Each structure stands twice: as structure tokens, then as C-alpha cells.
Chains A and B, each alone.
Chain A
Amino acid sequence: MSTTDHLVYMANQIARELASQCPDRPVAATRDHIRQFWDPRMREAILGYLDRGGEHLSDTARGAVRLLRENAERAD
């Protein structure tokens, strides 16, 4: 598994768990988790994957990475 594949797997795994833990805000919860625990290069890598289409990201994970993108752009 490449690092990117691994990150996609991790993002989907987080999203899948938080979907039941935080049913009211799974996307935001997944974004928060990634923001809290992933180093910047990991976040950049998953953002890059999203930019390339994000094919294998689940809906929740894709939404979370999009939120990350928006947050990053706002911070810029």
C-alpha cells in the first residue's frame, strides 16, 4: 500500500467510525480528527489526492477533506 493509499484508507476508516459516533456532524468530526492528529505533510497529501479526484474517498471522508481545503484556504 502506498502512503497515499494508506492515508485514504485511514481517512475512510476515521469517517466510518465517526459516522456512528457523531451522527449529527460526521464530516466536521472527521475533519477535526484529521486536523488534530495528522502532520501537515499527511494533510497536504490527502488534499492533493482530493485535487486529483479523490476517487476512493468515502463521501464523509471526501467532505472532511474538502472542509480541510476550505479551512486551509481561509487560513491563507
Chain B
Amino acid sequence: MAWIGERDLGTKAIAAAAPAMVTLRIDGQDVAVPEGTSIMRAASLVGTNVPKLCATDTLEAFGSCRLCLVEIDGRTGYPASCTTPVAEGMVVRTQTDRLAKLRRGVMELYISDHPLDCLTCSANGDCELQDQAGAVGLRDVRYGYEGLNHLVADKDESNPYFTFDPAKCIVCSRCVRACDEIQGTFALTIEGSGFGSKVAASQDDGFLASECVSCGACVQACPTSALIEKSVIAAGTPDKAIVTTCAYCGVGCTFRAEMRGEQLVRMVPWKDGKANRGHSCVKGRFAWGYANHRDRILNPMIRASVDEPWREVSWDEAIAHTASEFRRIQAKYGKDSVGGITSSRCTNEETFLVQKLIRQGFGNNNVDTCARVCHSPTGYGLKTTFGTSAGTQDFDSVAHADVIMVIGANPTDGHPVFASRMKQRLRQGAKLIVIDPRRIDLVRTPHIDAAYHLPLRPGTNVAVLTAIAHVVVTEGLADEAFVRERCDWSEFEDWAAFVAQPERSPEATEALTGVPAADLRAAARLFATGGNGAIYYGLGVTEHSQGSSTVMAIANLAMATGNIGREGVGVNPLRGQNNVQGSCDMGSFPHEYSGYRHVSDVATREMFERAWGVALDAEPGLRIPNMLDAATDGTFKALFVQGEDILQSDPNTHHVAAGLAAMECVVVQDLFLNETANYAHVFLPGSTFLEKDGTFTNAERRIQRVRKVMEPLNGYADWEIVQLVANAIGLEWSYTHPSEIMDEIAALTPTFAAVSYDALDRLGSMQWPANEAAPEGTPTMHVDHFVRGKGHFVVTDYIPTDEKTGPRFPLLLTTGRILSQYNVGAQTRRTDNVVWHPEDRLEIHPHDAENRGIREGDWVSLRSRAGETTLRALITERVAPGVVYTTFHHPATQANVITTDYSDWATNCPEYKVTAVQVAISNGPSDWQQSYQAQAERSRRILHEAAE
């Protein structure tokens, strides 16, 4: 049971847009509800809570517990109110002597096989069984407690985050239904029958060993303490809740942070959250323990050289030192010799302040953000074609899609909560096309079977998308009416002529893409003719030398098929980090102010100059890779890094290390001494999302509040730290609350004009653009016209990457992430999530493994032109022959030692997804890994002197 302080209406609301209304009488009260509503829900809406156990308004009605019986005039028997729909003129009684007796009888049976340890039960006071026993007036149990029971059944404590106690289970199936209906994993079942019925995970393997993905939906659904969080067992039931937004992926789930005092007891997905609709994944739900991890640094530290140990200092000294170093370096090397990196994990307000610090305080545009290495091509591609650097839909839109195309994304691992919503739609019958080198889980998962999986060779996205467009155009499947009305027709004609060329056909490109032409043709026909076609994509699209071209090819396809501007369609980038959309929106790129306006735009620049009282640089600044190049060249000397670990996350680790080592001052503001901090001279301890106010913007442009639930352990929220630095270099900032920063953002950014904390509190969330024309935000973009006017078709010629395989490096490495870990793992590695993914492994096809004599679990060396590392092998057919795959969550592996400097032509987004490699048997960690580990340990030494 999870909803402290929240009402459960028993069954779901009717989803129809304009349903017919039905009027009935319940216990003498007239009520009008949409046709199809259950009697239980109708009763709840007029304040009558019919007793229930198996019903909850997040699940389909089930009708098994027999507690919600009612009497209906003119009908015989006692129907279950959860499964009986209302009817016009119906007269219902929910409480009669007969009903009370029946309910007590049912409850007696439940309680006769239930431990009577309520006072010591971890759910005491938060248990629906306890509540319903009271509601039905249970006073004794005629059957006694001596009969056959389940009270000695073994408790399953294998999952690190929750326990399953069969003795407390009433076999209501809520957990099984939650796993099926909400999460879509189908890991749970009711095993056996009759008295022997019991909840089982997979084949009764125990929760940890089962297919369970630990999303927590079952725990949330459980009406007793049969499934309960270990944190509740340890801390007791929470007594208050504050709604806030998850700091993991770009889905942006909202949670109720349930507290006792300042202690976080559990995170429970918020039922009214518009991004997650009450669902969660293992990270957001459970993996928040890093906030109190012993590795967290709470005192500021400085050192003169990275060879020295850290010295703890006061905040005053650390801030003054930072300001003085940046001023010294600018005086010596020029104003353009410094810069900073904003964080996609921090709030919009914090990100805005960092870029303001650089532009207003440092006087240049040398600001970039981690979107550089993930979705910068999305910004470029969608702005070029549609006019706005963002996805076109809200997540709800997927419920209206008929054909879903997933390209270069692995939603069940990377965006699991959205993946569950996508799977719900697929189980309803929507068709699925997956374009991915790997056979991701979505291709074939319970009750879902992709219509087509196009397992393309890494690096051939543009060729595949152009071949799809070739089929659309040459077979007359384009939506000409849409294109004529909404797009530039002559550009379309040029594009159509290009894609129609015979050399773009599926047959002509099959040899290079590896995609069977017949499958590609069939997939193209399905997408073009199957109804609402929605495209979802991820970093498998962007992290290529043609990343921006691929985004534009996707946009072309959506426009050509008329799949833009309404629910159920669109181009949907699945953003990686929690606030990567927001960090881009906030002016984190070196060529743009907030709202994606170029720094050379005079009117925009003058507006910022008036607001900030300084002249601003009209020239674009350096991107992250350019900063590192400039550092090795000696023209870039100081870097302020907030919440980003470029040494682990960015490509070609050796080059990143060389760049950082060449700087005279590197400031890292973070929770932990991350890998980048090995090269830092100042460490400013950061605050977690639990310790500050602000907003995050998710992948659907939804701006949501982050609310402080406890004081920052380090003493300051991150926005306060940036303000301290700003004021130390002579700026006169006086923000007293992040809401004031948002007011400044809104005043300077047309797409945020209507955004304020008051509005967000009132509406729950807002999707930008939110302005005079759309005061509550914009769920679907480009409805009547594209932001840029006419949709812009761009010819996207396939140009092979220069990263080539050959005799020395015959395999292609592609990298990605896994469900239980997040990005560089700084947070999730410091939680019990390591149970599922304690190390990065190299996925290799059985044929490639056999050719090299590699067995499961062997140490293997992974070598590219850029570097070498070692890790253990995982032999799987998920990858095609010739392709290997690994994650980059663990610094011990440093997968980015392998990746190269090749990058997207337009944005310099690294080509993480294509690296030519060789794999061979190895004895264990490489010399480089061992020396790196030793260096990292030396670098993390701290002299614990008392700070002032």
C-alpha cells in the first residue's frame, strides 16, 4: 500500500473524450458519471467508500475479493461493485445488514489465514487489510486460527529493495496484475490453485533471480505488507509526502517523497504525474541511497596541483580561490581562456545560472553541456526541419499510435517507464518496427512481437531511412495533401527525386546496411499506411558522424507520411538524462541563448545585455571537444564543471585527460570525487535533487518542479554555490529562491514566458512553449503549422563513417546502457543496483567468440585505434556477428578509452556507436587500467583538516 494521503477510487476512470453520462442513485444520493464507470468508482466519487481489497484505481477491475458486494434494485444476488458498470436509473445500496454480514464472512476467511501481528507489522497503520477489517466491523473469527494456513511460509528477501512475505499475502493478484498491466513484464503469477495458490516470481525462482525488473509496481499495489519496501521495514511508515521529480532519465517521473521528519522513507510514483502516470523504474523508485553514501563529499576542497592530496577548506576560501584563479587566468591568457560545462542532471535554474556566470561574468560564450555528447544532433536536426529543437509530442500520445517505429533506442533499459506505456499500446495491437543493430528486449517480449526488426549495420542509419523513404515515394505512399499544405513543396520534390534514385532502394543498399530489402520494404509500407505513425529514437541515431543527418532523415519521413501535428504521431527523441532537454533550453550551447537563439542575433543579445548590465560576446564559444583541443594547444586554461564527468563519459579518454591535465584550474562541482575530479584543483560539493528547489524539463518538453525535502548535507543548493562564485568575481546576484531565477528565464525566453512556480504548482507541470498563445503549455507541437513556417525537407545523402573495420580491427563496437545503471554510474553504482550490473561486460556473438576461443565470463581485451581496455565477455545472440556491445557505467572499464574522436558533422556529438575494434582473450585488467586505478586512488587522497 503506498498512497498515504491519496484517494483510491477503486477502478479506473473512463478514458473516452466525451462519454455519455449516466445518472444513478447510490445510498439515496444521485450521481452522474460517464457511461462504463463502475459502481465502486461512482460511489467513491460521492464519498462512499465501498469496502475492497483486490480493487485499486490503477488496475483493471478483477472482482475476486468479494468484499465490494452491493445490492441493486431489480437484480438478484450481490454483484461486485468493481466489475459492475453503472446503468441509467440504477438504484444501489452499498451498506445493508445482509451486505455487512457477507463482508464480515469474507473478511473472517482472510483473517483466519493471516498473522495477527499488526502492532509489530511494518505496514501497521498503512494496511488496507487492517483498514477493511475495521470497515466491515470484524470482531471475531469463527474459524479460529488453528487450521491449515500459510503463516510459516518462507519470506523472500532476495531483492535488495523489498521483501515478499507469503504469510501476509491474501492472493488478491494486485501484484500480478500490476506487473502485467502497468509494467508489462509478466514476471509474476499465481502458482497453484485453491488453498495452494501463491504468488510466484517467474518459475518460483525468487524475486532476485526472476525476470522481475524491480520497478516497484507490485509493491505499490500490494494492500498488505506482503510486498513492502525494506526502507519502510527499517524506518517505519512515512508521515508526510512531498511531490518532486526524479533525477534519473529523461522520462521525468514525478514521485511522492515520503518522509519521516527529514528522513526519506521511500519514493512512490505520483499517480497524477503526467509523464509517468503513477509508474516508476528500479532507479527512481529505489536507487536514491547514493544521497547518503559514504563517498559523498560534503566539504569544499582545493589543491595547487593534481599530484597533491586534497585539502579541506571553508566555503569562503574555496569560493574566493575559484574566483581568483579564473580572474588570474583571464588576466594572463585572455578572456576566452576559460569556460564551463552545465549539467543535464542539475535544475533549469542552476543550468541557467552557470551559463549566465560564463556569459555575464567571464565575458565569453565558452559554455557547453553534456547534451553535446548525446542529443545535440536532435537540436540541430529538428530546428532545421521543424523550427524547434525538441520532440513534437507528449508521452500520452503513444496511446494513440498505430505504428511505432523505434530507431536506435532501447526504451525498456534506457526509458523504462515510458517503455511500459509503449508496451501497453503494443499489447492493444499497435504494430512495432525496431531499427537497431541489437535485438533489444522490445523486439520480442511478453505479448509483444515486433512486426519487423531491421538489424542494420552500425553507421548505416541514413542509408536505411533513405531506403524507407525510397519505398514511400516510389510506391506512391507519401501524404501529398499534408506535404502540399504544410511543407515547402519544391523542397519536397527535390527530396523525393533524390530518395527515388535507384541507388537509394532497399535492394541497392542491402549489402551495405545488412537489412533484408523485403523486410525494409514491408516495414516502410506498414509505417506509411498503418495509421498514426510515431517515431521514437535515441542515441543510436544521434551518436554518429551523421547524427544530425539521421535526425533530419527521420523528420523527412514523418513529414512525407503526414505524421506530424496531432496525437499518436510525431518525432520523439528519448532524452537520456533527467534535464538534458532543459539544459539545452537554458542556453547551455556556446552559440545560443536560452530558447535556442543565436548569440549573433542582435535583438536577443541586446535584451540579455539590458537585463544583465554588461556587453555580451557576439561570437560563438567553444564546444566541449573544442575546449579540450584548445587546452592541449595552450589557449584554454580553466574549466568550471557542474555535475558532469567528462573523463568517463566523453570519447577518447586519453585526449580528455590530456586536455584536463593541460589546464591550470579545473573546478568540479559534484556529489562525488568523480573521474574528472582526478584532474581538478577545486572541488565544490554539490547537493542532490532531494536537497533543493528547482525544475527539470523532460523529453516531452514538460517542465516539472523539483522540491526540497531535506536540507543540503553540503550546506548549499547548487544554485547557491554558483551564486557565491558569481558574486566573488564581482557580479551582484541576489536570488533568494530558484523561483526568482525562473522568473528571469521567463522574462528572457519567449517559449517560457508563461512559466512560473505559481503556474507550475497550479497546473502540476507545463510543456513549453508556454506563453500568451498557450498559457498552460503545448502538448503537441506543429499542429497547424511548423514553428519555422513550412516544414523543411533536407536531402540526406548517406556518407559512410571514416571509422573503418579492417584486418586489425574487424569488429564494430557500439555502446549503450542498461536498466539498473545510469550514465557514468556515479549515482547507481553507489546503490544496491550493483546487484544487477556489478561490471561492464562485452556482448559478443557466439560465432565471433568461438573464432577467438572466448568462453562466457572470460577476460577479453577490447582494442581500437584509440586505446585498449579489458572486461569480461557475455556471449549472446542479441548482437549480430561482427558487432560487439558494452556499457560505460564503470570507471574500472573506462569504455571510452576505446571510442574515437570521430563525431557528428554538424554538432561534434561523438560517434560512440561505431568503433572498429578487435577482441582477444586476456589475463585480466590491462596495464593502463591498473595504472589508471593507482592514479585515481592517489588523486582522491584527502587531508582531513578542520575546515573553518
Q: Which residues of chain A have a CB within 8 Å of any CB of chain B? A: 1, 3, 6, 10, 13-14, 16-17, 19-21, 23, 33, 36-42
B498 / chain A contacts, CB cutoff of 8 Å: 20
**A20 engages B905 (CB within 8 Å):** no
Q: Which of B366, B591, B629, B797 has the most CB of A within 10 A?
A: B629
Interface hits, B882-922 → A, CB 8 Å: 901, 905-908
Q: How far is the CA of A14 from the CA of B905 in the complex (A)?
A: 5
Given contacts A39-B619, A39-B620, contact A3 B905 (CB under 8 A): no
**A20 engages B619 (CB within 8 Å):** no
B795 CB within 8 Å of chain A: yes
B740 / chain A contacts, CB cutoff of 8 Å: none
**B621 engages A39 (CB within 8 Å):** yes
**A6 engages B906 (CB within 8 Å):** no
CB distance from B589 to the nearest CB of A (A): 9
A6 / chain B contacts, CB cutoff of 8 Å: 629, 901
**B906 engages A17 (CB within 8 Å):** yes
CB distance from B799 to the nearest CB of A (A): 6
**B632 engages A3 (CB within 8 Å):** yes
Q: Which of A38, A41, A42 has the most CB of B within 10 A?
A: A41
> What residue in chain A is nearest B633 (Cβ atoms)?
A3
> What residue in chain B is nearest A17 (Cβ atoms)?
B905
CB distance from B381 to the nearest CB of A (A): 11
A interface secondary structure, majority: helix
Contact of B630 among A10, A16, A21, A41 (CB under 8 A): A41
**A40 engages B797 (CB within 8 Å):** no
Q: How far is the CA of A36 from the CA of B908 in the complex (A)?
A: 14
Interface size class of B (residues with CB under 8 A): 20 to 34
Given contacts A37-B591, A42-B626, contact A13 B598 (CB under 8 A): no
B591 / chain A contacts, CB cutoff of 8 Å: 36-37
A1 / chain B contacts, CB cutoff of 8 Å: 901
> What residue in chain B is nearest A7 (Cβ atoms)?
B629
Contact of B620 among A3, A17, A21, A38 (CB under 8 A): A38
Q: How far is the CA of A38 from the CA of B619 in the complex (A)?
A: 8
Q: Which residues of chain B have a CB within 8 Å of any CB of chain A? A: 336, 365-366, 498, 545-546, 549, 590-591, 598, 600, 619-623, 626, 629-630, 632-633, 635, 794-797, 799, 901, 905-908
Contact of A21 among B365, B626, B795, B908 (CB under 8 A): B795
A42 / chain B contacts, CB cutoff of 8 Å: 622, 626
**B905 engages A41 (CB within 8 Å):** no
**B796 engages A20 (CB within 8 Å):** yes
CB distance from A64 to the nearest CB of B (A): 13
CB distance from A43 to the nearest CB of B (A): 9
Given contacts A16-B799, A17-B906, A21-B794, contact A41 B901 (CB under 8 A): no
Q: How far is the CA of A1 from the CA of B543 in the complex (A)?
A: 20
B799 / chain A contacts, CB cutoff of 8 Å: 16-17
CB distance from B627 to the nearest CB of A (A): 9
B629 / chain A contacts, CB cutoff of 8 Å: 3, 6
A33 / chain B contacts, CB cutoff of 8 Å: 906
CB distance from B637 to the nearest CB of A (A): 13
Contact of A17 among B336, B366, B546 (CB under 8 A): B546
Contact of B906 among A14, A20, A40 (CB under 8 A): A14
Residue contacts A-B, CB under 8 angstroms, 23 given? A1-B901, A3-B630, A13-B545, A14-B905, A16-B905, A17-B549, A17-B799, A19-B797, A20-B796, A21-B794, A21-B795, A21-B797, A33-B906, A36-B591, A36-B620, A37-B906, A38-B626, A39-B365, A39-B620, A39-B621, A40-B336, A41-B622, A42-B622
CB distance from A33 to the nearest CB of B (A): 7
Contact of B619 among A14, A19, A40 (CB under 8 A): A40
Given contacts A6-B901, A13-B545, A17-B906, contact A41 B796 (CB under 8 A): no
**B336 engages A41 (CB within 8 Å):** yes
A10 / chain B contacts, CB cutoff of 8 Å: 905, 908
CB distance from B551 to the nearest CB of A (A): 13
> What residue in chain B is nearest A1 (Cβ atoms)?
B901
> What residue in chain B is nearest A33 (Cβ atoms)?
B906
Q: Which of A6, A19, A20, A37 has the most CB of B within 10 A?
A: A37
B907 / chain A contacts, CB cutoff of 8 Å: 37
